[in-house]
C-alpha cells in the first residue's frame, strides 16, 4: 500500500542544513543510481542484513523503517516478520518510494505499507516491535525529535537500530574530514559528525554499538526496557 501523506520529514542535518524540498529533489534524482552509493561511500558488505538481525524480528512482528528509500532493506525485513507480520516504510522521496513499491509488487508482498510522509507526523496504526534507521539518521535535521517520536511507538522490549556512516576516528578521520564533507554535499547530504548512539543513550541504558570499516560505519541498537 502506498499512502500519499503530507509534507517531508527528512531535511538536512545539524551541520549541513538544506531546505526539505532541496533534499527531496536530490533524492528523486539519486533514485536510479542509489545502489551505486553503497560502493562509492564504502558501505561494508552485508551491513544491511547485520543491522536487520539486530532488530531481533520474529514472525508476526511489526517494524517501521524511517527513510526506507528504494527498499534495499525490505527483503531482510520481510524475512524477519514473515507473512504474518507487517512492515511500514516512510520516506520523503516519491521516486525512491516508487522503486520500493515496484519491488513489493514484483515480489507479491502484501504486508508492506509505504508512505511519503513527514517522519514526525507518521504514526503506525499499531504498536511497533522494532524501528530501523538505515543510512537515514545522518540526513535528518530533526533527528532527535524523529527518534523520540519513533521510540514512543515502540512496545516495551522493542528495539531501535541505526546503521549509518560517520567520521572515522583518529588522525586519518581528521585528514579525510574535509573530503568527506564535500562528498556528502555532492551526494546524499549526510552529516558525518552526528552522534546517533548518544541520542539513543538518552532514551535507554540498554545500548550496543558495533563499528565497522575502522570506525567509518556503525550499527547501534537500543532496547526499550519499559
Instruction: For 77-90, write each residue's pLDDT tens digit.
Output: 999 999 999 999 99
The answer to which of 39-43, 68-72, 143-147 has the lowest mean pLDDT is 39-43
The answer to which of 29-38, 57-66, 122-131, 216-225 has the lowest mean pLDDT is 29-38
The answer to which of 16-30, 109-123, 136-150 has the lowest mean pLDDT is 16-30
Average pLDDT over residues 42-48: 85
Specify the DSSP element, H or E, that contains 4.
Answer: strand 2-4
* pLDDT for the residue numbered 42: 66
SS3 5: coil
- Cβ neighbours of residue 118 closer than 8 Å, sequence gap 6 or more: 5, 6, 7, 8, 9, 92
**Percent of the chain at pLDDT above 90?**
56
* pLDDT for the residue numbered 171: 79
116 located within any domain: yes
SS3 per residue for 86-155: EEEEEECCHHHHHHHHHHHHHHCCCCEEEEECCCCCCCCCCCEEEEEEECCHHHCCCHHHHHHHHHCCEE
Q: Which of 27, 4, 6 is nearest to 136 (CA)?
A: 27
Instruction: For 159-210, write each residue's pLDDT tens digit.
Output: 999 999 877 777 766 777 777 667 666 566 678 788 899 999 999 999 999 9
Measured CA to CA in angstroms, residue 130 lies from 50, 55, 58, 217 at distances of: 15, 6, 10, 21
2 located within any domain: no
138 located within any domain: yes
Q: Which residue has the cell 540498554?
A: 206
For the beta sheet containing 207-212, the strands, ordered from the edge strand earlier in sequence to the opposite edge, are: 2-4, 112-116, 86-91, 62-66, 128-134, 154-165, 217-223, 207-212
Burial class (CB in 10 A: 0-12, 13-18, 19+), 143: buried
4 located within any domain: no
C-alpha cell at 196: 546517533
CA distance 61 to 20: 32
* pLDDT for the residue numbered 22: 77
Question: CATH no. for residue 196?
Answer: 3.40.50.150
140 located within any domain: yes
**Strand spans (E) along 172-216:** 207-212
* pLDDT for the residue numbered 31: 67
Domain count, the chain: 1
Q: Could you list the residue range(s) of the whole structural domain that residue 89 is in?
A: 11-223
171 located within any domain: yes
Q: How confident is the model at residue 137 (pLDDT cuts 50, 70, 90)?
A: very high
Amino acid at each position: 500500500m502506498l499512502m500519499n501523506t503530507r509534507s517531508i520529514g527528512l531535511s538536512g542535518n545539524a551541520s549541513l542544513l538544506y531546505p526539505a524540498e532541496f533534499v527531496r529533489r536530490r533524492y528523486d534524482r539519486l533514485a536510479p543510481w542509489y545502489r551505486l552509493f553503497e560502493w562509492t561511500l564504502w558501505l561494508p558488505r552485508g551491513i544491511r542484513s547485520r543491522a536487520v538481525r539486530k532488530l531481533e524480528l520474529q514472525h508476526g512482528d511489526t517494524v517501521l523503517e524511517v527513510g526506507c528509500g528504494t527498499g534495499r532493506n525490505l527483503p531482510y525485513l520481510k524475512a524477519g516478520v514473515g507473512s504474518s507480520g507487517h512492515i511500514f516504510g516512510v520516506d520523503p522521496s516519491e521516486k525512491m518510494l516508487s522503486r520500493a513499491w515496484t519491488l513489493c509488487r514484483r515480489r507479491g508482498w502484501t504486508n508492506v505499507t509505504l508512505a511519503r510522509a513527514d517522519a514526525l507526523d507518521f504514526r503506525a496504526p499499531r504498536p511497533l516491535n522494532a524501528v530501523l534507521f538505515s543510512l537515514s539518521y545522518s540526513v535528518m535535521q530533526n533527528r532527535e525529535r524523529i527518534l523520540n517520536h519513533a521510540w514512543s511507538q515502540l512496545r516495551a522490549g522493542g528495539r531501535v537500530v541505526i546503521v549509518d556512516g560517520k567520521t572515522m576516528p583518529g588522525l586519518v578521520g581528521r585528514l579525510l574530514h574535509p573530503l568527506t564533507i564535500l562528498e556528502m554535499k555532492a551526494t546524499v547530504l549526510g552529516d558525518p559528525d552526528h552522534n546517533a548512539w548518544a541520542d539513543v543513550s538518552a532514551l535507554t541504558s540498554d545500548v550496543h554499538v558495533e563499528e565497522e570499516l575502522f570506525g567509518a560505519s556503525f550499527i547501534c541498537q537500543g532496547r526499550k526496557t519499559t
